[in-house]
Amino acid sequence: MRDSFRDRPNGYIESIRMGQTIMHSLSGKLVYGTGPIDERIEKLSDAIEQADAIIIGAGAGLSTSAGFTYEGERFNEYFFDFAKRYGITDLYSGGFYPFPDEETRWAWWARAIYYNRYVNAQKPVYDDLLKLVNGKDYFVVTTNVDHQFQRAGFDKKRLFYTQGDFGLFQSEDGKDGETYDNEGWVMKAMEAQRFVINEAGIFEVPDDKSIETRIPKNLIPRMPSTGAPVTNNLRVDETFVEDAGWHDASARYADFIRRHENMKVLFLELGVGGNTPVIIKFPFWKMAISNDKSTFACINFEEAYCPAELEDRSICISSDIGDVLARILAL
């Protein structure tokens, strides 16, 4: 199955190769943006307006700005029982917890998937981003798996989710190369835990907080075609399934990059941290350095920077992404 895509353009592999090579040619000096933030925001607004094309690279910081936090109030509201029983303190660590049985493990994952994939963002960050690029020639590459770009109305054919999708299951070994939509299962598993649907159509904890931390054995998900055990379609190891849809998106990303190589491109990095810099951050630096008509922009809370080689063509803003986008729209 995987070999059938071998001859197609692969934007993911091409980007990683760029990211790996750029580090050997940089001075090692980083710059963090200078001048009043108002001036940098105006400069970014102008860059968006004047760009022939915009390539958006989005990381976890974008969804955090939109309200998808993994700890604190949101976690305590929907996972208080898991916290009390197992001492889990956040969504991330809970994904690695050795639950006592499959019924408990999949109850956890049903909630984690639902509240990170099947609900809209609390803040209009994605909506504001779409307003800024709507009508422009744009493409989005993201390591996020929460589907919020599509929920906000971004064109599906202009999106590439490199690391998978919370809305898909795959077999544990990934050998069949198949994925399937999990929405129906998630809804049944939420009902089985006694969550109730509110007036907005969203599952919430009942007033008496009488929810379950297990689902019935017959609800443990299996591959529809084979009955084999499943896992989330998330890139955690070599078993990750890059299905036909993934390869279509990867090829479109590679094509978009090629078609705009020597044009006035804005590389807009949003909320990308240091966990997987070879997927977005480093390739963006490489492409921006190679194209002297381009601009590199980075918005990230307390973490916006770029190499000194891009200092004259960069806009770095260490601030909340949602606040910056809202201020651009208000200009």
Hey, where are the domains in the chain? 2-65+123-166+242-330, 73-120+183-220
**CA–CA dist 61, 270 (Å, integer):** 7
- Residue 277: name the closest of 9, 23, 5, 43 by CA: 23
The residue ranges of the chain whose pLDDT is under 70 are 1-4, 6
pLDDT score for 4: 61
pLDDT score for 57: 98
pTM for the model: 0.95
Read off the pLDDT of residues 116-163 as tens digits, 9 standing for 90 and up. Answer: 999 999 999 999 999 999 999 999 999 999 999 999 999 999 999 999
CATH 3.40.50.970 holds for 2-65+123-166+242-330: no
| Contact status, residue 233 vs residue 164, Cβ threshold 8 Å | yes
User: SS3 breakdown of the chain: % helix, strand, coil, rounded to 5?
Assistant: 45, 15, 40
**CA–CA dist 89, 201 (Å, integer):** 27
CB contact burial 225-244 (16+ within 10 A = b; e otherwise): eeeeebbbbebeeeebbbbe
| Contact status, residue 36 vs residue 314, Cβ threshold 8 Å | no
What is the dihedral sign for C-alpha 130, 133, 135, 138?
negative
Torsion angles phi and psi, residue 123, rounded to 5: -115, 150
pLDDT score for 319: 97
